[in-house]
Amino acid sequence: MLCVRKAYCLFILSFLTSNSFAQNVATINNKPISSKEFMWAYKKSHNGNTTTDYNTLSNYLNLYLNFKLKVFDAREMGLDRNKNYQEEVKTYENALAEHKKISSKGKEHDYLLNEYREGVLMFNISEQKIWSKAQDDEEAVANFYQNNKKNYNKPLS
């Protein structure tokens, strides 16, 4: 049973990473996510480990798609046109080129820059949502205090 499961996982991985299949694992708003991009992200987040099972891949795909949807929301909100965002991405791109960690041409470079851009967008939209929620909570705290003010004027004894 274990050998069959390993063979099945190996088949899925080879199918997803095969060069002969230029397939996409998903499409979000008419933008395809290639199997190469997905497997690059999977390997990177799993320290290059390619041994896995179907459920692990499926769960990671769901996480990856949720991430991509949040990035799409950030772009819809115009966060990618923010001057500070653009400067931050440019600084990272320059640092990569300066330190020559990877070639400035090729898929590895493109995937890395895209991951950075999307990560910053994800952080920005998360931060924005947290602060808007915190402001809502601040109003709730003030309302609670106003409604219970009489309870706070008692001396501690």
99 pLDDT exceeds 80?
A: no
What is each CA distance from 153 to 23, 139, 143, 146, 150, in whole angstroms?
68, 21, 16, 12, 6
Residue 60 contacts residue 45 (beta carbons within 8 Å)? yes
Specify the DSSP element, H or E, that contains 41: helix 35-45
Provide the pLDDT for residue 121: 85
Provide the pLDDT for residue 97: 74
Among 37, 67, 97, the domain-final residue is 67
CA dist 65 and 47 (Å) reads 20
pLDDT band at residue 24 under the 50/70/90 scheme: very high
Among 12, 36, 67, the domain-final residue is 67
- Residue range(s) defining the domain that contains residue 139: 77-147
The total number of structural domains that make up the chain: 2
CA dist 125 and 119 (Å) reads 10
Asked if 56 and 94 sit in the same domain, the reply is no
Q: Which two tokens stand for residue 127?
A: 């931060």
11 vs 111 pLDDT, higher one: 111
Asked if 55 and 110 sit in the same domain, the reply is no
